[in-house]
Amino acid sequence: MHKRRPWLRGFGMMLLAVLLVATLIVGVVATTVGIQASHEQPEPPVTLTTTIRARTLSDDVGGQLMAFPHATVAVPAEGTVTRAGIAVSASLEEGGVVGVVDERPILLMQGAVPMWRTLALGMHGEDVRQLQASLARLGYAIYDDSGSYGDSTALAMNQYLTALGYEAVNASDEPVKADDWKQTAVPKQQLVFAPATPVQAATTCGVAGQSVAGDLCILETMEREYAIAFSAADVPDAGALEGARLSIPISGETVHGTVGKPYDRSRQSGVKADDSAKSSQTEGAANSTGSEDNRIYLHVDNIDVAKLQAASAAIDAGNIRGTATRMQGVPDAPTVESIALRTDGAKTWVLTNDGRHVDVETGLCVQGICEISGNSLADGTVVVLPAPDGGTEGKGTGDE
């Protein structure tokens, strides 16, 4: 019987360990080489495509609908307010009292010509005619010639003041005795004419004890006119939009009109240009002039004003926007992304997914989408996009 030598067992175990380590090293090296080789191989190119779609393109620009008083009127006064006048946003009908200064009422009547002088017996003019027309609407009989301040005009004015609880005065602003009613006059600052009535107060028309030397308050006609404000960046040429179709969504329906000429917010009488468009819009720059807030204001024409008036609260809050259509495309025309269009000299063409080169004519282009016409370019046709580097077609897949 042979005895196993101990050194042989130790040698065998050592040899086995060496073989295991060598196998592990070879595996790691092979794996690393394989990974590097895979990284060095270029990825197969994948063609980027898009699809022709039938649609109606529209070159639109959006803006904010705004309401402005048809006119604003300053109420001049000098003295001490002895009774509180109408409060801000309060409305006033023709014949009402705007405010009271030195216990003399400031009366509201309708007329296009501002109150520029004291009216008294023997005077003639359009301002007298306006006064007579207002007194007649208030129910007083006028027998004088239109535009001539005579006895019946003086009597009507005397009776009107008495009915309001104020005494009449003469041209020298002195009280008139009962039997001297023919001397009844209308001092310059006792009457304010507004182009239309009723009006509402844009500012409070006096607080008792207040001293005033200038404008007591500003009145706005309740009659509104409408404009739409566009960003000057979107509409660099205001005239280019004149006559464009305007669509305004209101209360679940779309109201249509047209874009008019530039709206001049400084034209309203009695106020400075930077205050003339004051309205109840809450948007930050709504009361600035177009040059100050970088917006262009254009009239809204040919629209159902009654529907706009019904949405006055939303308009005043700045929540109504409109869309003007500068240009309308062909209905349901084939369209494609502009990046799919290729040029070859004077020709424009597209490459279809099946390798066809199709010459096309382009029409309206809006925001990277263009109308095209060409043979066999129906809705759903797949076209290949040029490679970004100008070489082989781009990697990845796409569809607009």
CATH code (residue 313):
2.40.30
216 shares a domain with 79: yes
Looking at residue 38, its pLDDT comes to: 55
pLDDT at position 1 over 70: no
Integer Cα distance of 42 and 370 in angstroms: 35
Domain identity same for 14 and 106: no
Rounded average pLDDT over 340-368: 91
With a cut of 60, say whether residue 29 has pLDDT above it: no
What is the reported pLDDT for 120?
97
**What per-residue confidence (pLDDT) applies to 301?**
96
pLDDT at 168 over 90: yes
Q: How confident is the model at residue 46 (pLDDT cuts 50, 70, 90)?
A: confident
Domain assignment present for residue 93? The answer is yes
Q: Which of 10-19, 43-52, 235-244, 276-285 has the lowest mean pLDDT?
A: 276-285
Q: Predicted confidence band at 27 (pLDDT cuts at 50, 70, 90)?
A: low
Are 174 and 190 members of one domain? yes
**Sorting pLDDT into bands at 50, 70 and 90, what band is 375?**
confident
Residues 348 and 276 in one domain: no
**Per-residue pLDDT, 18:** 59
Report strand pairing: 369-373 vs 382-384.
Answer: unpaired
Looking at the fold, whether 237 and 205 belong to one and the same domain comes out as no
The answer to whether 333 touches 57, Cβ cutoff 8 Å, is yes
Q: Which pLDDT score, from 0 to 100, does residue 61 have?
A: 95
Whether residue 13 has pLDDT greater than 80: no
pLDDT bracket for residue 279 (50, 70, 90): very low
395: in domain: no
User: Does position 400 have pLDDT exceeding 50, yes or no?
Assistant: no
- What pLDDT is stored for residue 12 in this prediction? 60
Query: Between 238 and 4, where is the model more confident?
Result: 238
Whether residue 337 lies inside any domain: the answer is: yes
**Closest residue by Cα to residue 180 from 169, 188, 195:** 169
| Predicted confidence (pLDDT) at residue 283 exceeds the cutoff of 60 | no
Tell me the pLDDT band of 272, cut-offs 50, 70 and 90: very low
pLDDT at 41 (0 to 100): 60
Confidence of residue 293 (pLDDT cuts 50, 70, 90): confident
Pair (352, 333) in one structural domain = yes
Joined tokens for residue 387: 């490679």
DSSP code, position 263: P
- pLDDT score of 271 more than 50: no
Q: Does the structure show a pLDDT above 70 at 262?
A: yes
Q: Are strands 321-328 and 58-69 parallel, antiparallel or unpaired?
A: antiparallel
| pLDDT at 240 > cutoff 90 | no
Is 390 part of a structural domain of the chain?
no
- Are residue 233 and residue 182 in the same domain, yes or no? no
> The domain containing residue 356 runs over which residues?
49-57+329-384
Question: Does residue 174 belong to any structural domain of this protein?
Answer: yes
Q: How many domains does the chain have?
A: 4
User: Reduced to 3 states, what is the DSSP secondary structure of residue 391?
Assistant: coil
The pLDDT value given to residue 207: 96
Q: Tell me: pLDDT of 290 over 80.
A: no
Q: Are residues 245 and 290 in the same domain?
A: yes
Residue 366 lies in a domain: yes
| pLDDT of res. 377 | 85
| Closest residue by Cα to residue 363 from 396, 334, 393 | 334
Q: What is the pLDDT of residues 68-103, one digit of tens each?
A: 999 999 999 999 999 999 999 999 999 999 999 999
pLDDT score for 264: 86
pLDDT of residue 239: 87
pLDDT over 70 for what percent of the chain? 79
CA 260 to chain centre: 14
Q: Is 191 inside any structural domain? A: yes
Q: Is 312 helix (H, G, I), strand (E, B) or coil?
A: helix
Output the domain CATH number for residue 372. Answer: 2.40.420.20
**Which of 221, 245, 261 lies at the terminal end of a domain, its last residue?**
221
Say if residue 304 is in the same domain as residue 333.
no
SS (H, E, C) 321-342: EEEEEEEECCCCEEEEEHHHCE
Q: Do residues 203 and 88 lie in contact, with contact meaning Cβ atoms separated by under 8 Å?
A: yes
Question: Could you tell me which of 280, 71, 109, 92 has the C-alpha nearest to residue 199?
Answer: 92
In a domain, 150, yes or no: yes
- What mean pLDDT, rounded, does the chain reach? 85
pLDDT score for 265: 75
**pTM of the shown model:** 0.66
Describe the chain by its helix, strand, coil percentages, rounded to 5. Answer: 25, 35, 40
**The tokens of 352 are what?**
């279809």
Given 165, 192, 221, the domain boundary residue is 221
Reported confidence tier of residue 287, pLDDT bands at 50, 70, 90 = very low
Please indicate whether residue 282 or residue 198 has the higher confidence score (pLDDT).
198
Q: What interhelical angle do 126-137 and 151-164 show, nearest 10?
A: 50
Are residues 270 and 260 located together in one domain of the fold? Answer: yes
Please tell me whether residues 362 and 229 are part of one structural domain. no
Regarding whether 185 and 63 lie in a shared domain, the answer is no
Please check the confidence at residue 146 and state whether its pLDDT lies above 90: yes
